[in-house]
Amino acid sequence: MRTIKIGEKEIGLKATPLALLYYRQEFKSDLIGDLLKMQALQDDPSSLDSVAILQIAWAMNKAAEQGKSFPHFESWLDQFEYVDFSDADTMTAIMDEAADGFFRRGSRTAK
Higher pLDDT, 73 or 40: 73
Domains identified in the chain, total number: 1
Rounded Cα–Cα distance for residues 17 and 62 (Å): 12
DSSP bridge pairs for 11: 4
- Per-residue pLDDT tens over the stretch 1-54: 999 999 999 999 999 999 999 999 999 999 999 998 887 777 777 777 899 999
Mean pLDDT across 53-65? 97
Q: Does residue 109 lie within any of the structural domains?
A: no
Cβ 18 vs Cβ 63: under 8 Å: yes
Q: Does residue 108 lie within any of the structural domains?
A: no
Cβ 81 vs Cβ 8: under 8 Å: yes
- Residue 94, pLDDT above cutoff 70: yes
What pLDDT is stored for residue 111 in this prediction? Answer: 41
Query: Domain residues for 65?
Result: 2-102
